[in-house]
Amino acid sequence: MTEQLFADVILPLPLGDMFTYRIPADFQANIKVGVRVIVQFGARKFFSALVYKLHNNMPVGSFDIKDIDAILDPEPIITPAQIILWEWMVDYYCCTMGEVYKAALPSALKLESQTKVSFNPNFNMPVDMPGEEEALLLMLQGHGQANIQSINKFLGKKSALSTLKILLEKNAVLIEEKLADSYSAKVQPFIFLHPKLANDNAIREALESLKKAKKQQQLLEFFLAETLYHEEKRPNIAKKELLEQSGISDTVLRTLLEKEFLHLQEIEVGRLDFSSDGEQKIFDLNEAQNKAFSEIKQYQPTGKPVLLHGVTASGKTEVYIKLIEEQLALGKQVLYLVPEIGLTTQLINRLKRAFGDKAGIYHSRFNDSERVEIWLNTLHEREKSFEIIIGARSAALLPFRNLGLIIVDEEHENSYKQFDPSPRYNARDVAVVLAQIHRAQVILGTATPSFESYFNVKTNKYALVEMKERFQNISLPEMVIADVREATKRKQMKSLLTPDLYDSIETALKNEEQVILFQNRRGFAPYLQCGTCGWIPKCKNCDVSLTYHKHLSALVCHYCGHTQSLPDGCGECHSEDIKTRGFGTEKIEEELSLIFPEARIARMDMDSTRAKKAYERLIYQFESKQIDILVGTQMVTKGLDFDHVSVVGILNADQLLNYPDFRSFERSYQLIAQVSGRAGRKNKQGKVIIQTTQPKHPVLLEVAEHNFIQLFNRQMSERQLFKYPPYFRLVKVVLKHKNRDRLNLAANQMAAKLRKLFGFNILGPEYPLVGRIQSWYQKEIWVKLERDQKLMSSKKKILEEIKSIKTQPNNAGLVAYADVDPM
DNA sequence: AGCACGCCGACT
DNA sequence: GTCGGCGTGCTC
């Protein structure tokens, strides 16, 4: 083999060009593609870069070639398959290798000179610590935290990264990210009986001693009734649950803990089983599931992605579990993608139960050590390694060595698409490419296919497997369209409810059944308005009206979070006649409590689930029937399985239909069908009431008839006519600037250039729905590209234009980027 | 993305 | 006379 003198490396920077370093002679035997190396970049910055290519072509140019400083890994930390995937992502999503590298690797694996380092307090310094390492550790112990520059200075080295790597492996130091989230969010306090009260006698004595402390006695008794003396005997109860259900305060509990009658312990919540359906071991598939299972298997040799279109509650998960089992038996890895980890607790618990510690969860908000562990686990075969990775978007970028199956659950979800920062990839589409590279099977599962995927079925790129019946004889819900305008005219509206919805809720409550109400807007009122002059309070940073949040008694911007107090009067005419307009979840909650004062009502939206575990608590309370009516935003549409929901109400379908976007009908259909799927219980048909002022709207009629095909076909002819996806590819060019005039100038210039290149297939420049966010003015230009061979070169041309506009004089401070397949 | 270099205004 | 504002260009 010829000597390999040079290495092209990937730097964790948004730079398009490759950078070449010389490999010193004594490194040449150990360097490999895919290992990390430390390189100096610029005058004083050091990075851990990734070796992309080895060669002996002297680069041309008038610069000095620097040496590689150190090799960090004995073996590659990425796979050849990943490099192929990254190359595809760079071309397809108009991003750089560096950006993909940054997005893919957990931060502990990409030390940068900016990284903050601190001493790990749990580390015991061994006696034989090498002098340099010991000195550094003592310094860190004293200073608390240090950045890499100061460590370099301290050690008198150009780069201390290799020393740090060793200390990191010894677990002696912590780096920044680890500090930020070192406590995993997975634990929750639980209350146990103290070991001192091991027998009935001791318990009796304890209760006796609390004679004078009524509250304490009550709480202890309540605890015993819920645990030891409960029919489903259990050893503990969640602290939150105990306090909420007993209605006794935290201080009383604390005294009992101090008296050592009770005992508190943090327990990992991930292992907990909230669901009421008990142990669900893997069981046999029913007929429909078996049919789907064997159909999917038939497509395995063809390499075609499978779209699994199964109505809500058709039991897709069981089919997945069976398919996963099979792959595991073959010794293959499985990737199970979910849209948002936080909202899929039920599913994760189920998979965890089925596969135990063979299943690992991966998510960008996970703490870093855990992410590194999963990364290495996925890469190397170990005695105990994760064979199934359940994760959101970024899990598609893990270093799979032997992938056999990818499942993309809820493939229609737009949270698979990353907005910001680059790479702006869609994990669903990345998964399809990844499967191709590994020759693995990929299944896109959903109850409401995205039109893109269904189009791919129609054009024979994907195979279709359908599950048309719901599990356990639950029939599809009855769909009712309720005319709000008519009811208003006849003065039949009860606040926000049509008579149809009101009656249904009343009946459900009477029968002790549950209700879900959906309104895709949080807060109390979307905006306030002056009744005299029409003035509307707006955000000072963004061009949007402020949403009124009653419980905060404040106005909140939903784009930047800016919060201000309520105005005393109109900002223009000083009239005091300020009215609320429209309604959000908060208002619905309030109005309902007036109409149904006896009902237990809860709200589920971004505001009410912000606290840790608040989401899980709500789900638990709803499942255990502590809540009668759940009011929520999109969140209530996500894969929750409830047993006692008989009525689902969509408060305002118009708001969905009238959203100004070419996908609004697709979205409306998906949202309505998904919430509707929550209605229906064993042997009883559920009911869905859609409130609208457009009762004859074709989309609503099609949703009501469960007629997906007709809706799809009608939309397809429109998309074709107006050159939208899936017939055309969209590239959104986004321009941002703090100065409005500069932005407009640049945007017009850009649009003119693009028109020269692509003619009429250009829309804009236009302000997006919100023309200014956090003091940045924004404009968008939409490019519609034909799906042909020129696609790649067209994207390259767009990128060149973006590059050229950014480097033009006066355009400093201009942010410009391309978003391929925007959502 | 950073960061150094460089060219014009307000200050001891 | 200098300090510092940020616009421009480079990093193997």
DSSP secondary structure letters along A350-385 = HHHHHHGGGEEEE-TTS-HHHHHHHHHHHHS--SS-
Residue A344 half-sphere exposure, CB side, CA atoms within 13 Å? 21
SS3 A306: strand
H helices present in A33-130, as ranges: 80-92, 97-104
Distance in angstroms, CA of A19 to C1' of C4?
A: 34
- Measure the CA–CA gap between A590 and A326, rounded to whole angstroms: 50
Return chain A residues 64..123 having CB < 7 Å to nucleic acid strand C: 64-66
Query: What's the CATH number of domain A478-522+583-717, 3.30.565.10, 3.30.310.10, 3.40.50.300, 1.10.8.640?
Result: 3.40.50.300
CA dihedral A340, A341, A343, A349 (to 10 degrees): 150
Return chain A residues 4..23 having CB < 7 Å to nucleic acid strand C: 15, 17-22
Question: What is the reported pTM?
Answer: 0.80
Distance in angstroms, CA of A760 to C1' of B1?
A: 35
Q: Which of A447, A453, A406 is nearest to A300 (CA)?
A: A406
Strand B positions closer than 7 A to protein CB: 1-4
Distance in angstroms, CA of A267 to C1' of C9?
A: 55
The answer to whether A57 CB is within 7 Å of strand C is no
A21: the nucleotide nearest its CA (via C1') is C12
Query: What's the CATH number of domain A287-473, 3.40.50.300, 3.40.1130.10, 3.40.50.800, 3.50.50.60?
Result: 3.40.50.300
Distance in angstroms, CA of A42 to C1' of C3?
A: 26
Distance in angstroms, CA of A86 to C1' of B12?
A: 56
Domain A728-820 has CATH 3.30.70.600: yes
A570 is in an annotated binding site: yes
Distance in angstroms, CA of A743 to C1' of C8?
A: 19
Distance in angstroms, CA of A419 to C1' of C5?
A: 34
* Percent of chain A as helix, strand, coil, to the nearest 5: 40, 20, 40
- Measure the CA–CA gap between A724 and A183, rounded to whole angstroms: 46
Distance in angstroms, CA of A738 to C1' of B11?
A: 29
The answer to whether A738 CB is within 7 Å of strand C is no
Confidence at residue A179, expressed as pLDDT on a 0 to 100 scale? 31
Question: Could you tell me the CA-to-CA distances from A437 to A322, A426, A432, A434 in Å, in that order?
Answer: 23, 17, 9, 5
A573 is in an annotated binding site: yes
Residue type, A487: A
pLDDT in tens, A184-223: 334 577 888 888 887 888 888 888 888 888 888 888 888 8
Distance in angstroms, CA of A810 to C1' of C4?
A: 21
A817: the nucleotide nearest its CA (via C1') is B1
CB of A783 within 8 A of CB of A731?
A: yes
The answer to whether A63 CB is within 7 Å of strand C is yes
Task: Give the residues of chain A that fall short of pLDDT 50.
Answer: 1, 177-186, 270-280
A68: the nucleotide nearest its CA (via C1') is C12
A98: the nucleotide nearest its CA (via C1') is B1
Strand B interface, protein residues by Cβ within 7 Å: A 13-15, 42-45, 113-114
CATH class of segment(s) A5-109:
alpha beta
Question: Helix A791-807 to helix A740-758 angle, to the nearest 10 degrees?
Answer: 150
A545's tokens: 């009206």
Distance in angstroms, CA of A777 to C1' of B7?
A: 29
State which residue has its Cα closest to the C1' atom of C7. Answer: A812
SS3 A547: strand
The answer to whether A742 CB is within 7 Å of strand C is no
The answer to whether A60 CB is within 7 Å of strand C is no
The answer to whether A41 CB is within 7 Å of strand C is yes
Q: Which of A514, A812, A755, A469 is nearest to A644 (CA)?
A: A514
Confidence at residue A274, expressed as pLDDT on a 0 to 100 scale? 31
Domain ranges, ordered by start, for chain A: 5-109, 116-174, 186-269, 287-473, 478-522+583-717, 525-582, 728-820
Same fold across A5-109 and A287-473:
no
A811: the nucleotide nearest its CA (via C1') is C7
A95 is in an annotated binding site: no
